[in-house]
Amino acid sequence: MSQETKGQNHQPATSPGETSQAGNRLTRAWSRAAGSDFIWSFKRSPVAVVSFLVALGLVLGAVLAPLFAPHNPFDPATLNLMNGFSSPMQPNAFTGEVFWLGTDDQGRDVFSTILYGMRISLFVGFAAVAFAMVLGVTLGLIAGYVGGWIGAVIMRIADVQLTFPGILVAMLIFGIAKGFTPLEQRDEMAIWVLIIAIGLSEWVQFARVVRGATMVEKGKEYVQAARLNGRGAGGIMIRHILPNVLGPVLVIATISLALAIIAEATLSFLGVGAPPTQPSLGTLIRIGQGYLFSGEWWILLFPSVTLLALALSVNLLGDWLRDVLNPRLR
Amino acid sequence: MTDTVLKVVNLTVKIPTRQGVLRPVDKLSLEIAKGKILGVVGESGAGKSMTGNAVIGLLDPPAHISGGEIWLNGKRIDTLTREPMRAVRGKQIGMVFQDPLTSLNPLLPIGDQLTETMLEHLDISASEAEKRAIAALEEVGIPGAAERIKSYPHEFSGGMRQRVVIALALCAEPSLVVADEPTTALDVSVQAQIIALLKRLCAERGTAIMLITHDMGVIAETADDVAVMYAGRMAELGPVRDVLTRPTHPYTQGLMASTPLAAKGGKRLNQIPGAMPRLTELPAGCAFHPRCPIAKDKCRADPAPTLGAGDGRAACWFAGEAGP
Amino acid sequence: MSDLVEVKNLVRDFDVSAPWLNRVLERKPKAILQAVSNVSFNIARNSVYALVGESGSGKSTIGKIIVGLLPPTAGTIKIDGIDPAHEPDKAKIAAMQVGIQMIFQDPYASLNPRWKVGDIIAEPVTARGGKADGLAQKLLEQVGLSGADVNKYPHEFSGGQRQRICIARALAAEPKLIVCDEPTSALDVSVQAQVLNLMSDLREEFGLTYLFISHDLTIVQHMADTVGVLYLGRLIEEAPREALFADPKHPYTKMLLEAAPKLDGFGREVEPPKGEIPDPIHPPTGCAYHPRCPIAVDRCTKERPEMEQKGKGRVACFLAV
Ligand SMILES: Nc1ncnc2c1ncn2[C@@H]1O[C@H](COP(=O)(O)OP(=O)(O)OP(=O)(O)O)[C@@H](O)[C@H]1O
Ligand SMILES: Nc1ncnc2c1ncn2[C@@H]1O[C@H](COP(=O)(O)OP(=O)(O)OP(=O)(O)O)[C@@H](O)[C@H]1O
Ligand SMILES: [Mg+2]
Ligand SMILES: [Mg+2]
């Protein structure tokens, strides 16, 4: 090795291709190696590192909320109405207890409600994206590979849905579903309806991108070779094409996650989402909004900031991912 | 020599990457005289396009010239800054690339593109420019040139577009044309037309041409001299007839023997084992030694000798020892 | 024994019209591109039949029809005496199709980048539900790579090595016929020789038959036993290799041979050929080559010449002798 290659301490650790086989098309191997360059680009992007740490911290906080949270806001036994409206970091006038981020009207610790609220927000977000992804990827694969009138119908539905704002679609679905659920089950069902509503409003992105990528892959010769060897359409879609279109899917999934979290918050804020018995960040913001002008600003501010940090960090992470997986943009 | 148009001395291009600093062009020297065609051949990735782009000052960053000199008509051009280099590029160097669409503006009629270039670089009036545009298109064999100047690039076939690009490259009457695989995307019959055109224009106007291609046949029919590149270095340089019929570098020898015509039907082709190494994994010593039939200890230890423009022909310690 | 492949009056049309609505609004007629026009030829067992022609002449389309990736518009294809369009016994068709393989032009696109080489090579067997233990190793060694490469991914190989992997995959099906669509045009000359040699060796070892598609006459001259020349979807000349290269009969073949750059053609001045390939949607009447033909007569503009036996081969030209 020449002197110039030294000082490359951030060389990717696992990259078998770099050392073994000779090959004269370095540029092609370049893009292939994107996988192993992943960590490298990550370390070089402060935005990605910060977003990742913020997102990771928030997700861990939510997942481990029962361990972390000073109070369980859903356990009435731990609540003390006397603690109501404590200011952040100030001892409560009656009980002398100190709450980092203050308490709400019922004496619930805002920090704890945020941690628990994030659980709902993240659960709805992940589940909605998973649902949208499965639906969108499946329909996109079919539209792209089978094409014909089936593909045309799928894509027309997608086009029509795109002309409505996603949140409107979600509200519509939410409204319809609500009409069909019996009153006593509404709170219980609300979360699932929310997931389906948001999922249905977001599958289009997946379907469009997967369809486009599928049509590109379909024209490639490895797919023709598989057809020639008697592999059926299903086998080709799942075993051959799917692994090759997952890159863009991952990007959209991340960006959709941010959108889904915001959509959930919006719906809950409008009062059509998560019920007060299972408050998400959106529900907390709605509740907090009522106290803004009476001086209890912390009930609104902290959940809002958390939502912003969560959505922004996930979104920035998605942007970074898109740039890494698409070297042409660099 | 006073009629040397292009003189490249010890040109080195570097690309800093995370696998280290790559050298797609390493101490390359060559010369082209007025009215001559220099063919540059080599395998994919040998550094042909990098060399061409370095000469026209269009290296894509992070690639950059890190050493050596480029002289055009006795003036050094590798040290020029952007703006003066742009002027040199339009006026004194013409360019033809493999894909004609990269050199044409899809939104402008071809006539406008021609007149614009001429007005920028030549001291002529607009009406004179239009006249010359028509003449230029006629010269490259576009039928009905007077009407066609209003056509857009997409209204032409691939071969016709390449003719337009050649007209564009030549309209400011440059002294050097760098043509990077100008016929690779074209059919044999159209290729023959384009090559004949380039040869004619070069002879009539005394333009020097650097013709980059991987097709030995095209080189044989067109070039006066040939430069064979391997892994960024000059392997062999000399008059085309000598290099092709009596190659002295073992790589050129292997290359010539492995072309199907050399086997004259039926017989097995001579093959060079392996493939050209990636720039990231160049072997120590001469880059060709792992594939070389006459490699000795010296080849594994010392880099091959650097070939100056006027020196011997092959960059090999044991040039000519394997017999032609 | 009959010939392995019998192609008769093969036609393939592509509908290249604008979308239906645009067509109605702009009152445009339907546009049909005839990519293959009434082509007939046979491929003898254990021989190499080369199809040459310029871009768009229909070479790949014929190849894809023969391997069954595209259905023909009209005409028949018999492979091993079986016509898949008219054979009632499905099992027979399936058995026949296993024996046909294809090697593609782009070695980078013909291997799934997410699959291990071992799985890629075994696919012809596993896709049909078979077991392929150790097969990939054996085949890799057969094509000159190492058996240990089964666990690597395609990006770890160079172009020439990838093309060997494609060949290994084709061999896994124990084929009779391999359609090779420009198998070396993406490769460098020194690597091309390796692949061509390998193909010649395998042909002898396994008694393979090749349909070899190429636009490079020097490769065809090296590989082929019989050569068919295509122009605008029409087969215009067919002859044994020596006959075709020594004494081309069709003016188009003559032009192609003349225009191809020669390694020993130092300073050769060729009269550049006239014109370009016409628009395939509106091909010329009569003989498709007549607008560019130096010897065309009135009849050529009106009547399409049929393939006729002349000398050692067949030619579609009224004026060929
Ligand atoms: N941005 C880059 N980073 C790393 N390596 C690069 C970059 N750009 C080009 N290279 C390498 O530089 C070398 C020279 O490339 P160049 O385009 O000059 O080859 P070429 O001889 O023109 O080949 P071809 O016949 O394929 O056009 C290649 O090995 C290529 O992989
Ligand atoms: N799916 C398709 N739809 C429409 N037209 C097509 C399609 N496939 C091929 N064609 C057309 O059919 C003609 C023949 O194409 P084909 O690919 O067989 O040519 P080829 O001889 O293989 O050319 P090349 O040397 O460029 O590979 C071309 O004019 C092409 O545009
Ligand atoms: Mg190049
Ligand atoms: Mg083709």
CB count, 10 Å around CB of C292?
A: 19
CA A112 to chain centre: 22
- Of all atoms in ligand 1, which is nearest to the CA of residue B98? 27
Which chain B positions have a beta carbon within 8 Å of C217's beta carbon? 188
pLDDT at B323: 54
State the nearest Cα–Cα gap between A12 and chain C, in angstroms: 16
State the nearest Cα–Cα gap between C64 and chain B, in angstroms: 22
Contact of A164 with chain C, judged by CB distance below 8 Å, is answered with no
Contact of C113 with chain A, judged by CB distance below 8 Å, is answered with yes
| C-alpha B52 to ligand 3 mean position (Å) | 9
Which chain C positions have a beta carbon within 8 Å of B192's beta carbon? 259, 261, 270, 272-273
pLDDT at A10: 39
pLDDT at B179: 92
Strands B4-17 and B20-33: antiparallel
- Of all atoms in ligand 1, which is nearest to the CA of residue B51? 18
Identity of the residue in A4, A19, A26 whose CB atom sits nearest the CB atom of B279: A26
Give the architecture-level CATH label for domain A51-329.
Orthogonal Bundle (1.10)
Beta-carbon separation of A25 and B274 below 8 A: no
Residue of B nearest to C194 (CA): B271
pLDDT at C13: 94
Average pLDDT, whole number, for chain B?
86
Q: Which of A24, A25, A328, A330 to mutate to test the interface with B (most CBs of B within 10 A)?
A: A24
pLDDT at A36: 56
pLDDT at B312: 63
Report d(CA C37, CA C75) in Å as an integer.
10
Report d(CA B220, CA C263) in Å as an integer.
6
Structure tokens at C88: 């009632």
Q: What is the mean pLDDT of each run of 10 residues along chain A (330 residues)?
A: 37 36 43 59 86 92 83 74 73 72 77 88 94 96 92 91 80 80 77 87 92 93 93 93 91 92 88 81 85 81 91 91 66
The C-alpha angle with vertex C197 and arms to A21 and C187, in degrees rounded to 5, equals 50
Subunits in contact with chain C (3 or more CB pairs closer than 8 Å): A, B
| C-alpha C82 to ligand 4 mean position (Å) | 26
Residue with structure tokens 């680009």? A41
CB proximity under 8 Å: A 35-54 to C: none
State the nearest Cα–Cα gap between C256 and chain A, in angstroms: 29
How confident is the model over B279-294, as a mean pLDDT?
88
Identity of the residue in C188, C193, C262 whose CB atom sits nearest the CB atom of B214: C188
- Burial string for C128-159 (b: 16+ CB within 10 Å, else e) reads eeeebeebbbebbebbbbeeebbebbbbbbbb
State the nearest Cα–Cα gap between A324 and chain B, in angstroms: 15
Instruction: Determine whether the shortest distance from the Cβ of B25 to ligand 1 is under 6 A.
Output: no
CB B159 within 8 A of CB B182: no
Tell me the per-residue pLDDT of C9-23, one tens digit each, with 9 for 90 and over. 999 999 887 777 777
The residue nearest atom 8 of ligand 1, judged by CA position, is A27
pLDDT at A329: 44
What residues of C are in the B interface, CB distance below 8 Å? 54-55, 158-161, 188-194, 196-197, 200, 215, 217-219, 221-223, 241-242, 255-256, 259-270, 272-273, 276-277
CB C180 within 8 A of CB C210: yes
Tell me the per-residue pLDDT of C126-182, one tens digit each, with 9 for 90 and over. 988 888 888 999 999 989 898 889 999 998 888 889 999 999 999 999 999 999 999
Tell me the per-residue pLDDT of B72-104, one tens digit each, with 9 for 90 and over. 998 999 888 888 888 888 889 988 888 888 888
pLDDT at C66: 94
pLDDT at B2: 58
pLDDT at C24: 80
Instruction: Determine whether the shortest distance from the Cβ of B159 to ligand 1 is under 6 A.
Output: no
State the nearest Cα–Cα gap between C156 and chain B, in angstroms: 12
pLDDT at B187: 83
The residue nearest atom 6 of ligand 1, judged by CA position, is A27
SS3 category, B21: strand
Q: Which of C97, C103, C123 to mutate to test the interface with A (most CBs of A within 10 A)?
A: C123
CB C244 within 8 A of CB C311: no
Which chain C positions have a beta carbon within 8 Å of B254's beta carbon? 190
Contact of C90 with chain A, judged by CB distance below 8 Å, is answered with no
> Distances from the Cα of B66 to the Cαs of A31, B22, B25, B58, B60, in angstroms?
26, 11, 10, 14, 14
| C-alpha C292 to ligand 2 mean position (Å) | 21
Subunits in contact with chain A (3 or more CB pairs closer than 8 Å): B, C
Ordered by where they begin, the domains of chain C are: 3-99+175-253 (3.40.50.300)
Of A198, A306, A209, nearest to A257 (Cα)?
A198
Contact of B276 with chain A, judged by CB distance below 8 Å, is answered with yes
Instruction: Determine whether the shortest distance from the Cβ of B50 to ligand 1 is under 6 A.
Output: yes
CB B228 within 8 A of CB B287: no
Residue of A nearest to C178 (CA): A228
Residues lining ligand 2, judged by CB closer than 6 Å? C 14, 16, 33, 35, 53, 55-61, 215, 280
| Positions of chain C with pLDDT under 70 | 1
CB B117 within 8 A of CB B90: yes
- C178: β partners: C101, C210
Which chain C positions have a beta carbon within 8 Å of A28's beta carbon? 108, 155
Contact of A8 with chain B, judged by CB distance below 8 Å, is answered with yes
- Compute and round to an integer the Cα radius of gyration of chain B: 21
State the nearest Cα–Cα gap between A229 and chain C, in angstroms: 5
- The residue extents of the domains of chain A are 51-329
